[in-house]
Structure 1
């Protein structure tokens, strides 16, 4: 991060700490003006604010949503942000789907939603190594689902992804 980026980010963080609503103005320009990781720093400076994060997510472009999803595990939100993860899992943006199954999603999604997210990763050719906590969350039902999917692919004469072969 260069000096102008550092200065902008330091000012922006102070503004968010003093006035949480300032994040709505600063967040969209953060990566451009404050460099990589600036959005994460602004989210970290936000006191409380799951409602503010919801507004940022809803109004954000895919880059802004990605920044929020990847920072969720660092914020003290409890289960209040699970809906963000569920929303990201409904998209066709591989970056958002992968981020949804990061540390926060792995910790807070219920078993059914987690399994469906893993299958979506397989369908979208997202490596299962991107799924946080997969070994911890992997269960007999997910193994069955992956095995069934592999059988469908074989029956259709299609190749079975390596990730699926290793897990089914």
Structure 2
């Protein structure tokens, strides 16, 4: 099923219950109970020792099969939150997961108590050309923790791959008065024109936002 490269809203448990069938709701109940149990009995992982994935991590991978692909992001986000997933588990799920499983990790980072420690996952997503991963990487977590240099390059990545800048959380706030971003956008536009290629409409929009004192929108994108 084609997916738009923007950040979809994650459904709450109540909203999921209203949309899932009885078997899927029962599966979700069991999965969340397992995640809650794991959070309450977290053991320190032994570096280099044998690792057995907790049952909720297996459920994470199976979310689309049991709850439907359209609900998989929301189900996986709930599992991560309920399990109070720490960086080792998130890294494992991201590195070993499918693109859809990685996408859900990125969408949920800002809802977990991680600080900037999960930035390597965001930076990895920004090195891909998967538009859904790029869009998720510039969501709330990336907006909060990417440094100015990497954030500017993330904007260029969106323009290069065709990810709508509407996916960029806090765009107007971070772009306002950013002369370096304006310079980079100008260089990017000049390169496109020299190569006989069109300049993305979103580039002009972002460039206008870099103007010092640009009016803040009523609702930031």
* TM-score, normalising length: structure 2: 0.72
Measured in 1, the distance between the counterparts of 2:112 and 2:58 equals 20
Measured in 1, the distance between the counterparts of 2:90 and 2:115 equals 13
Deviation per residue, 1:120-155 (Å, 9 max, x gap)? 111101111111111111111111111111122222
Residue 153 of structure 1 is matched in structure 2 by 192
Residue 75 of structure 1 is matched in structure 2 by 112
Task: Calculate the aligned-residue CA RMSD, in Å.
Answer: 1.3
Contact 2:35 2:56 in 1 (8 A): yes
3-state SS in 1 of match to 2:163: coil
CA apart distance, 1:48: 4.8
Measured in 2, the distance between the counterparts of 1:122 and 1:4 equals 42
3-state SS in 1 of match to 2:196: coil
Measured in 2, the distance between the counterparts of 1:16 and 1:94 equals 30
- Could you say which structure has the greater relative contact order, defined with CA pairs below 8 angstroms and 6 or more residues apart? 2
Q: Which of 66, 90, 103 is matched with 1:33 structurally? A: 66
Contact 1:150 1:165 in 2 (8 A): no
Contact 2:84 2:112 in 1 (8 A): no
Deviation per residue, 1:2-58 (Å, 9 max, x gap)? 121111111101011112522221111012213411111101111352211111111
CA 1:47–1:158 in 2, change beyond 3 Å: closer, same or farther? Answer: closer
3-state SS in 1 of match to 2:55: helix
Q: Which ranges in structure 2 are unaligned for 5 or more consecutive residues? A: 1-19, 40-53, 208-221
Greater helix proportion: 1
Measured in 2, the distance between the counterparts of 1:89 and 1:3 equals 38
Q: Which of 82, 89, 94 is matched with 2:131 structurally? A: 94
Number of residue pairs the alignment of both structures matches: 168
Measured in 1, the distance between the counterparts of 2:55 and 2:114 equals 20
Q: Which ranges in structure 1 are unaligned for 5 or more consecutive residues? A: none
Measured in 2, the distance between the counterparts of 1:105 and 1:166 equals 20
CA apart distance, 1:74: 1.2
* TM-score, normalising length: structure 1: 0.94
Q: Which of 22, 33, 36 is matched with 2:55 structurally? A: 22
